[in-house]
Amino acid sequence: MKAPYPGVQTTALLPSPKWGDSKTLTSTVQTMRSIDGTLYTYVKSRDSRMKFQWEFEISRHKALELRAFIHAYRGALIEVIDHDGDTWIGYLRNNPFELSGVGRAFGWPGGETMQIMLEFEEHQ
C-alpha cells in the first residue's frame, strides 16, 4: 500500500492475504413484482467499482506499523498493488480497524501474531 496517492510519502508492505479473500462489484440487484405478477429487476451499478476484503496474519511489529499507516492516511486515496499484481486506487473502508491477537509465534518479530481484516473500495 502506498499513500497518499498520487504524491506517495509512505509505503506499507504486507504479506499475501489468508485464503478466502474476496473481490466483488459494488453494484446491487433489486427484484420487484408488479401488481399483475410481472417480475422486474433493477441493477444499481455505482460505476462498477470493485470492493476487496483481505484478512492478514502479521507479526506484532508489522501490526503496529500498519496501525500507524492507517491512522496517518485514513480517508486519503491509497494505491494498492495486490497479491495478483493488479494495481488499485481507492480507500480503506472498514471502521474500526480491529487488530486481534492470534497467538504466540516464535521467531516472529514481537513474538506474537495479529490478525486484521482490511476492506478496500476502488475509487473512480
Q: Mean pLDDT over residues 17-27, rounded? A: 64
What pLDDT shows up at residue 78? 93
Q: How confident is the model at residue 24 (pLDDT cuts 50, 70, 90)?
A: low
d(CA 43, CA 29): 5
d(CA 121, CA 24): 10
Q: Mean pLDDT over residues 10-28, rounded? A: 73
29, pLDDT greater than 80: no
Q: Mean pLDDT over residues 69-79, rounded? A: 90
d(CA 52, CA 83): 12
Where do the structural domains in the chain lie, given as residue ranges? Answer: 2-122
Reported pTM: 0.70
Q: Mean pLDDT over residues 95-104, rounded? A: 78
Residue 101 half-sphere exposure toward CB, CA atoms < 13 A: 8
In the predicted model, what is the mean pLDDT of the chain?
82
- What CATH number should be reported for the domain whose range is 2-122? 2.40.30
